[in-house]
Structure 1
Amino acid sequence: MLIRPASPDDDAAIAALILPEIAAGETYALSRDMGATAAVAYWRGPDRQTFVVENNGRLIGSYFLRANQGGDGDHVANAGYMVDPAARGRGVARAMATDSFDRARAAGFIAMQFNFVVSSNQRAVALWQTLGFAIVGRLPGAFRHPALGPVDVLVMFRSL
């Protein structure tokens, strides 16, 4: 696996990766009918650094890294991750997470916070906990899951 900064040449592959996850509506609080242009603009927004994971020349994952807040909160990082369903279970998310921790530390961040982890995304919650994240808050019923109805959202935090 190669993790590298995303470039505009990756936009079509990023769209192909993230659009199905957004449309499923199970893990991200984004409009499920978001189009490719809007999705890529969100994922590669000017307030973040975006990275892609390649395996044998194929994009199998992507993440972004940004400050969680501005001003006096800009020392805490935030990130979002997506893995191609065909590559799940092969350590891609763990590799992106550890890469993001290293890049966040190098950029001067002292911690990372996830503001809106959908509690029914048990695979992600378990991974984040094995990587040292603690659940520091729970927002009851804050996410409208398309199959499960209202589910809790977790706020997760770890020092870097």
Structure 2
Amino acid sequence: MSEPPHEVDPVRLGAYFALVEVSDLLRHAIEQQLREAGGLTFVRFQILMRLRLTETGSHRMTDLADAIVHSRSGLTYQVGLLEQAGLITRAPSPDDDRGVTVTITDAGRDLIAQVLPGHEEVVGRMLFEPLSQDAARTLSGLLTPVRDHMRALPPRSAGRRRRSRPD
């Protein structure tokens, strides 16, 4: 005898697919703008923006990986490319012998200043143009607790690393 089909809440399913589609369409437009305006990928833009928004212009690599939801190895690769381009520097963390701190350079700040107006235009046109100020406030009010709930879970860096080969 087969199991009865699982009941799917159509409201939740619709909200989920709408969120995913909006996110995908927005990200595609942003990635295109960043590539054209500054030769940046979305991940590299996120790294530079996170650094730019800190008071010191620096972040520990592990914290940065968690902030942008990227693997440690993937972040190391992206940071290496940004470092080669002169947009960031890496140095041993002053607080942790095993840690590495990443710092944005003046060239990195200049590149962000170059791409940011177009980025803001794309986000405004695609995400906020069809919304009133009250609707944007409501959207923020809906998404903030969801994000906070997800961020309260252990960060990816706290998880065990998978071994590439068995013992």
TM-score, normalising length: structure 2: 0.24
The structure showing larger relative contact order (alpha-carbon pairs under 8 Å, at least 6 residues apart) is: 2
